[in-house]
């Protein structure tokens, strides 16, 4: 049985969302789907529609946060890959080495999500978020339309 329904988003840790948008939106032509501030961790999340998944820009807003420290130590770049799943708690428990699903966190777009703790990810952080077929499949074109 497969737990993964689709790639939901690929997250890029950035220092400045507006500056990052000059590439991802203005240059690549990805449509801005939504942006929001999340209180914990205090970040700005910006979603760009890449056809059948999103590129998520993650900008830490608290200079003392773990994400800000990661940004200072490692610089901007890929932060994690997020997969859509039917049941976040079940998927996190099955995918995590210790079976712990007690680390559910809030997510962008009002969906529950969890980062898993597993060996064998080859250094890539993995997040699971709720799969919502009506929004994730039925409402998406599945490709990036050309701009005129």
In CATH, what number is assigned to the domain containing residue 134? 3.10.180.10
Of 118, 86, 121, nearest to 103 (Cα)? Answer: 118
In a domain, 32, yes or no: yes
pTM of the predicted protein model = 0.91
Range of the domain at 45: 4-138
In a domain, 80, yes or no: yes
Q: What is the mean pLDDT of residues 125-145?
A: 87
In a domain, 148, yes or no: no
- Using the predicted structure, report yes or no on whether residue 102 has a pLDDT greater than 70: no
In a domain, 144, yes or no: no
In a domain, 147, yes or no: no
pLDDT digits 0-9 by tens, 52-64 = 999 999 999 999 9
In a domain, 109, yes or no: yes
Count of Cβ atoms closer than 10 Å to residue 31 Cβ: 13
pLDDT at res. 143: 79
Looking at the structure of the chain, the number of domains it has is 1
In a domain, 14, yes or no: yes
How many angstroms separate the most distant Cα atoms in the chain?
Answer: 51
């Amino acid at each position: 049985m497969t737990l993964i329904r689709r790639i939901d988003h690929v997250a890029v840790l950035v220092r400045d969302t507006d500056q990052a948008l000059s590439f991802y939106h203005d240059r690549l032509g990805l449509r801005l789907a939504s942006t929001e501030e999340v209180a914990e961790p205090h970040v700005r999340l910006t979603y760009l529609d890449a056809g059948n998944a999103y590129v998520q820009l993650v900008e830490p807003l608290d200079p003392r946060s773990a994400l800000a420290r990661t940004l200072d130590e490692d610089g901007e770049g890929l932060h994690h890959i997020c997969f859509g799943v039917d049941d976040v708690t079940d998927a996190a428990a099955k995918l995590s080495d210790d079976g712990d699903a007690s680390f559910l966190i809030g997510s962008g777009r009002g969906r529950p999500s969890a980062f898993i703790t597993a060996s064998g990810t080859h250094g890539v952080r993995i997040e699971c978020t709720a799969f919502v077929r009506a929004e994730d499949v039925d409402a998406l074109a599945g490709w990036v339309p050309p701009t005129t």
